[in-house]
Structure 1
């Protein structure tokens, strides 16, 4: 593939990734923004309903106070009683008495003689209501009249919506629930749309050019309809993306340039690994190993990480197979040994109860070179040989005749030998009797696969029984739950490591981990 085609392909991939990420981010932002605005309208409509119920409750209370009045109607005493009720309640503007046909007297006007209009709606316990126009011609105001028995209270409908607007575009209306008549609405509200929203069989909030919310009262025959323009609630995603497209393309071009430069710099895996070796970028991270009996950390496994110049960390699965195929494992092993002692050599010297396990690759088992690399560090940091364990992957031990003398040399030098990833290799289990090893590590795939004893007992009990019969130590990898730990503990497995206890971490974090454990043990 030509460099131009590679660059074009890279640009297309990067641009797609950038645009997809921006689209997802903008969409998510819009969704959150819409949800917040919808919640605001929902809360606002609930507040409006509370106000409408408060006003209606005052009217009901006023009328029930007047219901027992039994003296003569429209007397001076009666008129004084009407005025007292009007003054007592905040939202009552007038109180009147009717003989059932005509209004006969009022707290504001004294004696009157006005025909009683038919009620617009009724509700429980004999309440009726209707609207009337008051004021001079050309300046009339619509008032709401509520009647119980022979008394009528007059309310300014504006009180029903006497709340601070959410914004300058929201519309609000209060309706009675018998036939959807509008009791009160804000000047900019469309009463026809409010009635249509109220009459929908499904009163859940919905979009239809506007965002509609219908709140129905459980106490009174009232409902509140609130609506906001849809374009205020929902942003225009295509328009936003059109605005972001030019900077996204510029960013994609810059990212493509960086990718191409990086590809040229690390064109071959061999050069990349060699550069990492020269710059000592291969370091040891430590994953604690815990005694299942005591629950305390007794050591750690050293796991190689490739720490790049930009601070990012590459996992071993990415580069170890390539390093093995290129014959570059040995210098990486040397850097891991050096990193272990630089990081935790001092604490190993102070804590003879701790150990660190080092992994041996296939080429490391071809001889005892690793022992020669290890000796200066043991002497420099005053670390005992028994504090350094070695782990050999099972599949590298197929040739037991060749591996046995090397492993015996490691044990003769004072180190323990464990077989790593036990049960995943190609050889027979009988080879354990032929190899000089101290223990096995039960592979995480067997531990992770079980959630109960029934899942576990197919393989793991057999492995445990075999190891115990050969007097081998056991380490369970990948322990993530207390149930797994309990199962292994009850069956005699001595050690465990996994996310239940801690993930692999840099040496400085591992030292802090040990300090925290020591502090907990001291408190206990």
Structure 2
């Protein structure tokens, strides 16, 4: 009988552990593939930026050339610096102008014409490695942390992005070991166990890069004999129950849903602010609240990663609540002092299904003594398709004193009749329409039509993604009132936004 119980229990534990191990391995494999997608995306932008600069044939480091470098730096979201080299020395950059710096030897090459190396960057006391990539005479600099800007499964998985020809580590999580990542890549196998760890290595089909992830083996493979000594007295029933619980809770604690719920519980979702300016005066009249997910190690996850996930999991409403909380904690006192300023908050489709957002907001308005008209709302077009549901909610927002704008206008289901059906105060022209201005002939036919449509209905207009004075002039001449974009300022934490306003006010105080 004892032998039968032991044999049955051993078999049950073996099957349970095998199933759990298989499931956890699949999750790590999927996580690695998602990390590779992000690495491919960042690398593709680096190559695109360099190809964009390559045809320049004017005078190197002239004012015209420096302006071209600045525009390229602003155009590509992951690029942090752009420069020009004569092949031996770096001669100028978009941010520093003319310089004279000896180029270090490349750490690796891509094809016949792309080289790359890493240098120290960042502010004093907060230095970090920056990635430099050169094509021809132009160099772009990127923060390698962008390669790992994904939602982590847990704090035991180590992750690294490597160049595959020479094994140079481009980026890695804080606790990842570069030597272990290189060793896993050199073994060529897609996944394997060695040295007490489980490794997965996935290679890009587009670029000479790979992602290596590893986790301690004992997190995936349980000690069968230790389990037997503990579990034998409880026999088969408790063994089966334990197996079920291990599978169920092990899966739950490593899902994106659990990660987002933990982020909400730990108040990791915060609002950064991007200034909105008056095109007429050039002064800041408010800001858009942009969501960020601040992880425990201090890194940030961008909304294009977690917002679709939160929406699909039905968790976007509590995330919106956290953004509202963060806005008032960061600039509530400022708004109370400055009634001329506003903050614009984005609404998802689920937020437009009822009055819950107003209930959350009213408590914050009362606590910080902020006027309702200082909080604007933005809703993307696709969230407003069912006007029978969304129109009454938007009308309730306006009745409460808030202004409502249609975000990313022109990318969804825009029409004159559509605008007639919705109680809104204005529109925001999507950045893809602004980028080619004023030279893109095709879009120049669309943008005036959008402006005229809004003006005919008496709607205010905000242009997103304004990066050059030429774009601002084009919009100002056609009656657009407001703009936001890197021409004025990037998104920033609330404390930096306060300093931004102080710097803006300084010249007026001196006058």
Contact 2:381 2:408 in 1 (8 A): yes
Quick one: distance in 1 between partners of 2:448 and 2:290?
28
Structure-1 residue corresponding to 2:372: 385
Selected match of 1:432 from 398, 419, 423: 419
Selected match of 1:510 from 497, 504, 507: 497
Q: Secondary structure of 2:334's match? A: helix
Quick one: distance in 1 between partners of 2:433 and 2:337?
36
Q: What is the 5 A alignment of 1:249-260?
A: 249=183, 256-258=213-215
Contact 1:395 1:427 in 2 (8 A): no
| Structure 2 residue 395 is matched with structure 1 residue 408 | yes
Q: What is the 5 A alignment of 1:237-276?
A: 248-249=182-183, 256-258=213-215, 267-276=254-263
| Structure 2 residue 337 is matched with structure 1 residue 350 | yes
Q: In 2 relative to 1, CA 455–7 (structure 1 residues): closer, same or farther, beyond 3 Å? A: closer
Q: In 2 relative to 1, CA 458–310 (structure 1 residues): closer, same or farther, beyond 3 Å? A: same
Structure-1 residue corresponding to 2:106: 28
Larger radius of gyration: 1
Structure-2 residue corresponding to 1:142: none
Q: Secondary structure of 1:28's match? A: coil
Quick one: distance in 1 between partners of 2:352 and 2:459?
21
Selected match of 1:469 from 456, 460, 464: 456
| Structure 2 residue 282 is matched with structure 1 residue 307 | no
Structure-1 residue corresponding to 2:4: none
Contact 1:290 1:299 in 2 (8 A): yes
* Deviation readout 1:269-324 (Å, 9 max, x if unpaired): 11111111111110001010000000000000001111100111001111111111
Selected match of 2:352 from 365, 379, 390: 365
Which runs of 5 or more structure 1 residues have no equivalent in the other structure?
Answer: 18-24, 32-236
Which runs of 5 or more structure 2 residues have no equivalent in the other structure?
Answer: 1-20, 40-102, 110-164, 170-177, 187-196, 200-211, 221-249
Q: What is the 5 A alignment of 1:121-140?
A: none
Quick one: distance in 2 between partners of 1:12 and 1:411?
45
Quick one: distance in 2 between partners of 1:12 and 1:293?
48
Q: Which moved more, 1:421-430 or 1:283-292?
A: 421-430
Structure-2 residue corresponding to 1:443: 430
| Structure 2 residue 420 is matched with structure 1 residue 486 | no
Structure 1 residue 249 displacement after superposition: 2.8
Structure 1 residue 426 displacement after superposition: 2.8
Quick one: distance in 2 between partners of 1:319 and 1:11?
14
Contact 1:447 1:479 in 2 (8 A): yes
Root mean square deviation, CA, Å: 3.7
Structure 1 residue 453 displacement after superposition: 6.4
Contact 1:449 1:455 in 2 (8 A): no
Structure 1 residue 250 displacement after superposition: 8.6
Q: In 2 relative to 1, CA 267–490 (structure 1 residues): closer, same or farther, beyond 3 Å? A: same
Q: Secondary structure of 1:352's match? A: coil
Structure-2 residue corresponding to 1:317: 304
TM-score calculated relative to the size of structure 1: 0.53
Quick one: distance in 2 between partners of 1:11 and 1:365?
32
Structure 1 residue 264 displacement after superposition: 8.1
